[in-house]
Amino acid sequence: MNGKCATAAILSIFAAFLTTSVQAQPQAAAPSLVAPVAAQAWMDKSLAPDIRADLVQAQLTHEEELTLVRGYFGANNRGRTDAYPDGIRKALPGSAGYVAGIPRLSIPALTESDASLGVANGGEMRPGDQAVALPSSLLTAATWNSALAYAGGAMIGAEARRKGFNVMLAGGIDLAREPRGGRTFEYVGEDPLLAGVMAGEAIRGTQDQRIISTIKHFALNDQETGRNTMSANISDAAMRESDLLAFEIAIERGDPGAVMCSYNRINTVYACENDILLNKILKGDWGYKGFVLSDWGAVHSTVEAANNGLDQESAYNFDKEDYFGAALGQALAAGTVPQARLHDMVHRILRTMFAKGLFDNPPVKKPIDAGADLAVAQRDAEEGIVLLKNAKKLLPISFVKRPSRRITIIGGYADLGVLSGGGSSQVIPVGNVPELEVLTGGAVRMGPDQKPQIPTGTIILSPPSPYAAIRSLAPWARVVYYDGSDIAKAAALARISDIVIVFAQQWTGEGWDVPDLSLPGNQDELIAAVAGANPRTIVAIESGTPVTMPWLDKVGAVLETWYPGNRGANAIARILFGAVNPSGRLPITFPQSESQLPRTAIPGRERAYMRLPLEDTHSPFDVDYTEGANVGYKWFKSKKLIPLFPFGFGLSYTSFDFSRLKAAGGAALTVTFDMRNTGKREGMATAQVYATPPGGVARLIGWSKLDLKPGETRRVSLTTDPRLLASFDSEAKLWRVAAGDYGLALGSSSADISAGATVHMDASTIKP
Ligand code: BGC
C-alpha cells in the first residue's frame, strides 16, 4: 500500500476532480447603490415569507436581482478571484458554492457546502476543518428508521451552521435503478417509499437547524457514466411511479428549500432546461414554492434554462458559458426571457431564505460538538449494518474469554480505518485520519472488451480502525492483523485462528460507475482461501453498492457494513461481540450476478474514457429505461428472478414472527398485524408490507421497525399512501387506484413472506 498521505495529495486530486475548463469571465456589473431603506419592513419575523420577499424585492435594482440568480464555485478555483464581482473571494474556503448577498438590504449571501454524509471539505482541507462523517446514505436507508435519518440530517445541519454554511447541497435520492452507479452510496436505495421517507426526514432534520437543504439530483441521474450527456428515456407514467415518486414523497416530508437539477438529459432534454420536469411537474403539479438550482456544470443555455424553470445558476464558472450573467441580462433586454420570470426566480430564492430562517438566524461560527455528533454517527451505523449470513450462530462471538483465543483480522486496511465513498460528498472525518491512499491507476481509456479501471483518486479512511475497536472489546484475546497481500499466508494464519474476520472493500465514487458488482482485485480469492482454511470466517464488507459473493457457501457469517462512517469500526465491533443486535435491512437488492439486471453492462461504458466527471468526453447517448417503474425488487419479481439477497432482508440475533394480518380496504387501505419476538434476546424487528395491484407487481406500502423484548408481541396498524397502490394516468395527470382485489404480503423482506391477505379497493383518483 502506498501510505503517502495527505493534504497535498487531496488538494491536487480534488482540484483535478472539481476543476473544469474555466474560461475568462467578464466581471459582473457592480450593484448600483440605492439609498438605505430606513425601516427594513421585511425583517419583521411575524410576516409570511412571501410577503417579506415581496417587500425586499421591491427594493432591488435590476442588477441586484441578477446577482441573486448566479453563483460561484466556492473552492479555490485554481486561485482565481476574478469570478467575484469585486475580485475578492468570499466563499468559505473549500466550499462548494457562494451566491453574493445584498448587504444594504440585509440579504445574506448563500454559503453552500456538500452534503448528505456530513459537511464536506472540498478541496482545501485545513487543520481543524474536519467534520463528523456519517455513514453512507445507503446505510442510513438500511436502518429503516426515519428518526435516525432525521438525527443525521440535524447533526449535519448543526455542524454546517457552526462552519458558517447556510445551504447544504444534501438530499441525494436518485433511485438505485443502476446498482453499479458510482453514487449509489450517496442515495437511499431502490424503493420510492423508503427513499422518500428517509431522504425527506434527513432534509427535515437539516432544515430544522435553520438552513436550506437541497434535494438532488432532479432527476434520473441514475448512473455516472456519461452523466453530462446521457439521456434517461422513460415514459411519463413510469417515471412518476418510480424516481419522481421518491422525490415527491421526500419533498412533501422534508420541504427542501431548493431542488438541484441534474447533469443528465431526460427524454433528450437537459434536466436544468426541462420544462416538463421543472415547470410542469415540480412547480406545476407538485406546487413547489422553493427554487431550482443547477448542479455544478449542468447548465447549457440561457433562454431555455431560464424559461423552462431554472432559478439559479449555481456555479457559472463550472458551466461552459456564463449563462446567467451578461447573457441573461441581454435576454431580458431582448424580451426572450420575460422580466416576470426574473422576478419569479428572485422571489423563489428570497421567500425560501425567509422561510428557512436565513435572515433571522444566520449561522454563527464555533467549533463542532464532535462528541455528540459521533454518537449520532454510531447509532446510525449500529442500526444500518446488515447481517446477511450467520451459519451455526457464529455471531455474536461468544467463546470463552481466554488469552489463548486467537482472532485474526485480514485485509481492508482494517488496521487503519473504514472506507468512505469519493467525490463531492467526501467528508474529511474527525480523529486522526490515518492514511490517505492514492491510487495510481490514472484516467484509463478503455475499449469495448476492456474492463474500465478505477480512476485516480484519494481513498479516505475514517478512524478509528476496526482492529483497534475489536481489540478494545476483546482485551482477553490475541488479536492480530494481516493485510492479506499473500493469500497463502492469510490462509495459513486462518488455519491457526479461533476466528477470522476478513474485511473486504469496494471503493466507489462520484463521476464513475463500477464495471461490475464483484469485489475488486483478488478479494474473492482471498476470502475463499481463508474460509477454506477456517470455516469460522466472518466477512465484513465495506461497499458502496451491492456486491456478488462467490464464496458465500464457504464462510460462516457476512456483515454488509456499507461505508459505516466515523464510528463505523465501533459499530462493527459491537455487533461482532453482541453488544448490539443487528437490525439493518437491505434497501437495495443484491443480485446473484449482473446478468440478472435490466442492463447487463453500464450503458455508454463501451465508449467511455474513465475520466473525472466534468471532463466527460461522451458524445450524447440514450439509455432506454424499458423496465419502467419496475426498479430493483420489482424487476426481480416481474422476471421471477431469485436474487442473492432480496430487498428488505437482514438477520438478527433473535427471531421474530409477524402474523394476524388484517386489512381494511374500500376507499383507503389500512393494515394491522402482530409483531412478536420469538427469540431469547431483545432486538429490533422490521415488518414490511407489500401490495400487489391487480395485474401488477408487488410494491412496498409500509413498514414498522420496533424494539421488542423476548416474548413481547405488539399489534401495529399502518395506513397506506394511496399513490403506492395506484398507477399514474399521464393524460388526466392523476393517480388512479383501480377497483379490484389487491394481494397483501407481510414479511421480513420482499421475498420472505409470513402472512398474506387479499383486500378489495374501490376505484379512486388522487391529484399529484
Ligand atoms: C455534484 C453535486 C454537488 C456539486 C457541488 C457536483 O459535481 O454532482 O452533488 O452538490 O458538485 O459540489
Q: Are 214 and 221 in contact (CB under 8 A)?
A: no
- Grid cell in block for residue 411: 485485509
Atom of ligand 1 nearest to the CA of 186: 9
For residue 610, the one-letter residue type is M
The three-state secondary structure class of 765 is strand
Query: Closest ligand 1 atom, CA of 115?
Result: 10
Coil/strand/helix, residue 341: helix
CA 601 – ligand 1 centroid, Å: 25
Q: Phi and psi at residue 740, in whole multiples of 5°?
A: 150, -175
- Ligand 1 centroid, distance to 425 Cα (angstroms): 8
The answer to whether the beta carbons of residues 583 and 650 sit under 8 Å apart is: yes
Quick one: DSSP state of residue 271?
A: G
Helices (H), 399-503: 466-473, 487-495
- Residue identified by cell 394480518 is 661
Centre of ligand 1 to C-alpha 49, Å, is: 28
Topology of the domain comprising 385-576? Rossmann fold (3.40.50)
Nearest atom in ligand 1 to the alpha carbon of residue 216 is: 9
Q: What is the 3-state secondary structure (H, E, C) of 508-553?
A: CECCCCCCCCCCCCCHHHHHHHHHHHCCCEEEEEEECCCCCCCCCC
Nearest CA to ligand 1 atom 6: 296
Which pLDDT score, from 0 to 100, does residue 1 have?
29
Please give the angle made by the CA atoms of 428, 434 and 436, to the nearest 5 degrees. Answer: 65
CA distance 375 to 713: 30
pLDDT at residue 434, as a whole number: 54
Distance 15 CA to ligand 1 centre (A): 14
Helix (H, G, I), strand (E, B) or coil at 13: helix
3-state secondary structure (DSSP) of residue 732: coil
Cα of 702 from ligand 1 centre, angstroms = 32
CA of 112 to the centre of ligand 1 (A): 11
- 465 CA to middle of ligand 1, Å? 29
Task: Report the DSSP beta bridge partners of residue 459.
Answer: 437
Cis, peptide link before residue 219, omega less than 30° from 0:
yes
Between CA 228 and CA 604 the distance in angstroms is 12
- Distances in whole angstroms, Cα of residue 689 to Cα of each of 139, 496, 663, 759: 21, 46, 11, 13
Nearest Cα residue to 271 out of 237, 305, 317: 305
544 and 120 Cβ atoms separated by less than 8 Å: no
Q: What is the DSSP letter of 313?
A: B
**Residue whose CA is at the smallest distance from ligand 1 atom 4:** 296
In CATH, which of 3.20.20.10, 3.40.50.12160, 3.30.70.890, 2.60.40.10 is domain 633-766? 2.60.40.10
Q: What string of H, E and C letters represents the secondary structure of 405-419?
A: CEEEEECCCCCCCEE
pLDDT reported for residue 310: 98
The C-alpha angle with vertex 318 and arms to 315 and 319, in degrees rounded to 5, equals 95
Cα of 151 vs its chain's centroid, Å: 15
Ranges of each domain in the chain: 8-355, 385-576, 633-766
How far is ligand 1, taken at its centre, from the CA of residue 424, in Å? Answer: 6
Q: What is the number of helices (H) and of strands (E) in the chain?
A: 18, 32
Report the pLDDT value the prediction gives residue 761, as an integer from 0 to 100.
Answer: 98
Tell me which residues of the chain have a pLDDT lower than 50: 1-37, 78-80, 435, 438-454, 456, 608-615
217: preceding bond cis by omega (within 30 degrees): yes
Q: State the Cα angle at 380 between 75 and 550, rounded to 5°.
A: 95
Say if residue 333 is exposed, middle or buried (CB neighbours under 10 Å; 0-12, 13-18, 19+).
Answer: exposed
Looking up cell 446473484 gives: 592
Question: Bridge partners of 673?
Answer: 716
* Continuous segment of H or E residues that includes residue 12: helix 7-18
The whole model's pTM is what?
Answer: 0.93
Q: What are phi and psi of 388, to 5 degrees?
A: -95, -30
Per the structure block, which three cell numbers stand in for 113? 457546502
Let me know: does 190 contact 587? Beta carbons within 8 Å: yes
The best mutation among 98, 169, 222, 294 to test binding of ligand 1, ranked by most ligand atoms within 8 Å of the C-beta, falls on: 169
Q: Give dist(CA 165, CA 151) in Å, integer.
A: 18
Q: Which amino acid residue places its CA nearest to atom 3 of ligand 1?
A: 424
Most ligand 1 atoms within 8 A of CB, residue of 223, 510, 512 to mutate: 510
Specify the pLDDT at position 95: 82
DSSP 8-state assignment for residue 43: G
**DSSP string covering 56-115, please?**
HHTT--HHHHHHHTB-EE-S-GGG--TTSTTS---SPTT-SEEE--BGGGTBPPEEEE--
Measured CA to CA in angstroms, residue 603 lies from 69, 174, 226, 423, 546 at distances of 35, 17, 9, 21, 18
Taking CA atoms only, the protein residue closest to ligand 1 atom 10 is 169
pLDDT for position 617: 57
CA of 216 to the centre of ligand 1 (A): 9
Q: Which residues does residue 218 pair with via DSSP β-bridges, in sequence order? A: 261
Beta-carbon neighbour count of residue 660 at 10 Å?
A: 14
Residues with CB under 6 A from ligand 1: 96, 114-115, 169, 216, 295-296, 424, 613
Q: What are phi and psi of 3, to 5 degrees?
A: -90, 15
H or E stretch at 203: helix 192-207
| Domain at 8-355, CATH homologous superfamily | Glycoside hydrolase, family 3, N-terminal domain (3.20.20.300)
> Exposed, middle or buried: residue 8 (CB in 10 Å: 0-12, 13-18, 19+)?
exposed
CA–CA dist 133, 273 (Å, integer): 34
3-state secondary structure 134-196: CCCHHHHHHHCCHHHHHHHHHHHHHHHHHCCCCEECCCECCCCCCCCCCCHHHCCCCCHHHHH
Q: How far is CA 449 from CA 314, 452, 515, in A?
A: 38, 9, 12
Q: Which whole-number Å values give the CA distances from 327 to 32, 334, 345, 576, in the listed order? A: 19, 10, 16, 59
Q: Are 578 and 395 in contact (CB under 8 A)?
A: yes
What integer pLDDT is reported at residue 199 of this predicted model? Answer: 98
Q: Which amino acid is at 300?
A: H
